[in-house]
Structure 1
Amino acid sequence: MKESHNKNHIIKLSLAYTISIIVLICIPAYLYMQSEINSYKFNQYKNIDEHSLNIQRAIYDFNDSKNMIFRFPKSFLIDSYLLSKNKELIFSTTSQTLNYKNNISKQVTLSSNRLDAKYLIVTKRFSYKQIYLKIAILTLCIGLFIFISAYLIIKQSIIPYKEANAYLDAFFNDAMHELKTPLGVIQLNLEILEEKQQTKELSRVLNGVKNLHLIYDDIEYLIKNKRVLYKKENTNFSELLNQRINIFESLALSKEIKIDMNITDNIHIEFNRTELQRIIDNTISNAIKYSKAKSNIKIQLIKNEKVVFKVEDFGAGIKDTSKIFNRYYREDSIKGGFGIGLNIVKNICDKNKIEIICNSEIKKGSTFTYIFNT
């Protein structure tokens, strides 16, 4: 899938480069076309001039000869007409009537001759189709040459970047894999220690490890997002939400924050479990992070016509709600984090057509509402 994406990107760049070059050469191409048209027109008039001279020469030679039969010079491309003084047709090289439309022509007044012809009219069908066809073929050939050249040059030029990218991907995958096991071991042992001996210091360390897990999950999702297809599945939203709240309870307790829950049982939706977890985790962790100590957080999950997931905190509020979903944007740098959580949430919601509503008041708190189509 990634190779296909890279190939499409190279093709688009090559097309853009080709179109840019063609646009740049439009003026000289137009001048060339005008030159070709003028040259073509000149040659066509030259041909009928020469043919008319041949006919005149044959008529005058016939005057001086004793032959009784006149051999009229013919051409497959040029039609000729001999007319009398009254402009009645004496002879023509075609069965077609004299027509000046779409033709170039020349009329010559003849001297007295044995044919009693007064006028010679020579016509030739005239069209710019040949010129336009020639220009089109030339443009197509130049365009193909530029496109193929650009494609090969761009493809060769990105090889070092592809190799570097592959190396970085392998490095991050290996690093994430190596980090997951020790993080899990640390968290498990800290939870066992906390059951035996509860201290503030131990709780803080355990909460720090849980925060590391959240960061780890976000980074893992970002790395896999471009190459893994997150398929939808029947997910028990209520059950998953309760599980994640249990994990966040110790983080909330460290700030003496109470979590008020209103969760309707057995709400099922067609959604990828990993992506749904990212929405839940990032929304709840942000609510805890930016809430005041000894405050409340309200979490609601209900289903009417649509499924509504809502998280409300009573913290400092958000100054600019239009920026919070931008990657690396942090409302408060003192709180820490990388500013990628809500960006991940926004991308997941956009992909699955989930409506996000963010309401916030400074020094009063914020409410994040997610509306899922069922």
Structure 2
Amino acid sequence: MEWDIVLYHDERRALISFLLIYISSSVFMLGTIGFFYYKEKVATIDRICGVTMEHMAMQVKVHIMKKINLADLFDSSDPIKIGLYSKNKDVIKSNLTTGNINFEQINYTNHTSAFFVTRLLTPTNGIEYIIIEDANVSKEMNDLKFMILLRLLFASLFIALVGYFLARLLLKPVKENFAILSRFMKDSAHELNTPVTALMMSANYLKKNYDEEMVEHMLLSSKMISETYNSIAYLAFNDLDIEIKEEFDLSEHIYASIKYFKEIAANKNITINAELNTLLINMDKNSIRKLINNLISNAIKYSYNNKTIDISLQDNILKIKDQGMGIDKENQKKIFERYKRVSQKGSGGFGIGLDIVMGVCRANNIKILLESKVKKGSTFTLVFP
């Protein structure tokens, strides 16, 4: 996939705005999820810590009541610390990390540890208070925070990269469409300029001298402009038009189109041969007229000079065959896309004719087939339902 997309100032600003909104909203969502995850994990750690300290307190009570030596419980390497206090809250034996004990609360935490405070119902050997400290809880909390922040960082970077590539991916077809439309506007200006210039020159000449050939040139130019306008207007207003289906003879429409394009074909010394049988169809006349006109116009446009175009209508199959430039297999599917044109010198056109043809065929369930060979010509086959 290519990413060499040149962005203008406004497009870069739009891309940056999209990424900022996308990333900030995603990070906010991840942060919210991370916060609730952190709270849940803290609650879990507190529960486990509480159970562990309560279990240790029970062991200490058993040792005291049975007068078992407590030395083995005071392991300096163990994160669970023990403190034994008298009724007056004086230290009897302790390896706690702090001497500042809150005897009024059963469970509490300070900045570094969690504490569990319990009291013997019957003081033994002067021991009344048992304090259990979990000195590892602070490390567990810090590890949890670090793990969540690290995951949030990697997730944010991943989301940023995905957002960037998605934005570029979405911009690519937009840029391509802008380029196509830009080329379409240039082609439109060029395509309309030729017949308009011919009309102006012919009109100026007729001011001085009447010439039948000049009149034919004017008629030819007028038809070229008319066809260009009709194609653009059909695409622009087709959604607003109401199709009126009626029964008519397709062959009569084809003969009318051949007559209409007679002068344009003669300008390239092209002969149009037609063998048409009667075929009654129930469709919108305007749509079918555009269908036939575009196929014949394309056949003339892409045919070599001094050649023949053969049109046949047998049963429900219409074939239009030219002897022209032809289309290679790679481009045979692309030519039915709007504004797509096969690069041919001097062929002109906007790349909208066959898009109209395909649209009419789809709307009326007409099957369209294309056979083409480069420098040999093309044959369009329409199978009517």
TM-score, with structure 1 as normaliser: 0.48
TM-score, with structure 2 as normaliser: 0.47
